[in-house]
């Protein structure tokens, strides 16, 4: 079973301005799902997997922003990627 997280943004660091997206995908094996289902802990398995992957996703986004001296800013309904002024 596959899952996907994404964080779309408008990239103002490029000319012309484009849309961008941070994303992460992961898979839970059929064997792991079957075992959890037999043990009646499927909800727990899915929740823990999502929490773990969300944490890894956010760490990746934060590292990428720091490394490239960028920041995400909310402008109305959108997230906008901008360079940090020096």
> How confident is the model over 40-81, as pLDDT tens digits?
999 999 999 999 999 999 999 999 999 999 999 999 999 999
Distances (CA, A) of 41 to 25, 28, 51, 54: 22, 14, 16, 20
**Which residue stretches of the chain are H helix?**
30-38, 42-67
> Residue 1 — very low, low, confident or very high, per pLDDT cuts 50/70/90?
confident
Nearest to 81 by CA among 21, 30, 26, 10: 10
Taking only the tens place, the pLDDT of each residue in 14-47 is 999 999 999 999 999 999 999 999 999 999 999 9
Give SS3 for 23: strand
Give SS3 for 73: strand
Q: How many CB atoms lie within 10 A of CB 41?
A: 13
Q: Would you say residue 85 has pLDDT above 90?
A: no
């Amino acid at each position: 079973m596959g899952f996907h997280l994404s964080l779309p943004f408008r990239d103002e660091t490029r000319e012309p301005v484009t849309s961008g997206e941070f994303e992460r995908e992961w898979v839970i094996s059929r064997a792991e799902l079957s075992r959890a289902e037999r043990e009646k802990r499927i909800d727990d398995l899915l929740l823990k997997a999502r929490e773990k992957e969300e944490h890894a996703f956010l760490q990746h986004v934060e590292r990428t922003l720091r490394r490239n001296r960028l920041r995400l800013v909310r402008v109305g309904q959108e997230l906008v990627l901008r360079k940090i002024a020096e």
